[in-house]
Amino acid sequence: MRILISNDDGIDAPGIAALVDAAYPLGEVMVVAPDSAQSGAGHGITVTHPLRAKHYDFKTSNGRAVEAYSVNGRPADCVRLAVRMLIDGPVDLVLSGINKGANDGVCVFYSGTVAAAAEARLLGIPAIALSCQSEPDGVRFDRAGELAGPILAKLVDAGMEPGDFLNVNFPVLSKPEFPVGVCVARQNRAELHDYYEVLSDNGDETVYQLGRDYDTGHDGDDTDSHAMKNGFVTITPLRIDMTDHERLDRWGLMND
C-alpha cells in the first residue's frame, strides 16, 4: 500500500511526524506538505503564482527517513501536485494531520487538514484526516500517534475504497482516562461560538485578531463534537456532495 501524507500545520510540525510513525507499518509512506503553517486555509488552491516543490530531508522522531517534498502552497495544492506530478505510480491512501487542534463540527469548512483529505476524495483516493483537540500545554502528539496506529490499521483492514473520506478527531489526551473509546458519529452542524479581539483602534483603522478559543456548539448528543468532548475518538464519514437533498423538492418548483 502506497500512502501519501500531508497536513496544514507545515512539514516540520510534530503532528505529521507522529502520523508518519503511525502509518509506517502499513506500507510505503511519502510526505508532501506545505512549507509553512496553513491552518484555516480551507480548500484554497494556489492560482496566482507558481508552486515550488523542494526535496525535504524528512525524519520522524524514531529517525525514520521517508521520501518527502515541501511545497509553497496550500494543503489541497500539496495533494493535487503530489498525485499529478511528484509521485510516480498510484497512491492508495491519503492521510492528513495529525492536526494541532480538533476539526469537529463546522470546522471542517475552514480546516486545511480536512481539505487535504477532501482533495484526495476529489481525485478518487480514499482519505483520512486526523486532528487532536488542543489543550493549554499543546497537544499530546505522542499519545495521538500511538492511538492512530491501530485505528488506521483497523480502517485499512476493513477496506478503504475510493469515496471513503473520513474525519478522525482525538479528544484531550492529557487526561489519563481519555480516550474512553471510539465512536462513529455525524458532524455537528451548530454555529461556531468565536470572537475577535480588538488589537488596536486609532479611529481610522481597527485591527482584529480572531480569538484562539472557540466552541463548536451543540446540536445533538449524536455528534462528533459531543462525543469528543466526552472523551471519545470520533470517526465521521464526510461527503463532497454539498447538495441539500431534503430541499431538492422544495426548490424543484423552480424547474420549468
SS3 of 93-144: the string is EEEEEEEECCCCHHHHHCCHHHHHHHHHHHCCCCEEEEEECCECCECCHHHH
CB of 112 to Mn ion, least distance (A): 6
Closer of 99 and 225 to Mn ion (Cβ): 99
In this structure, what is the dihedral angle of CA atoms 199, 202, 204, 210, given to the nearest 10 degrees? Answer: 0
CB 188 within 8 A of CB 149: no
Closer of 45 and 153 to Mn ion (Cβ): 45
Closer of 106 and 160 to Mn ion (Cβ): 106
CB of 73 to Mn ion, least distance (A): 15
Closer of 16 and 83 to Mn ion (Cβ): 16
CB of 15 to Mn ion, least distance (A): 8
CA distance 179 to 192: 24
Closer of 39 and 188 to Mn ion (Cβ): 39
Nearest CA-CA partner of 214 in 231, 228, 195: 195
Nearest CA-CA partner of 31 in 96, 121, 108, 76: 96
C-alpha cell at 245: 437533498
What residue is closest to Mn ion based on CB? 39
CB of 220 to Mn ion, least distance (A): 26
CB of 138 to Mn ion, least distance (A): 13
* Interface residue list for Mn ion (CB under 5 A): 8-9, 39, 99
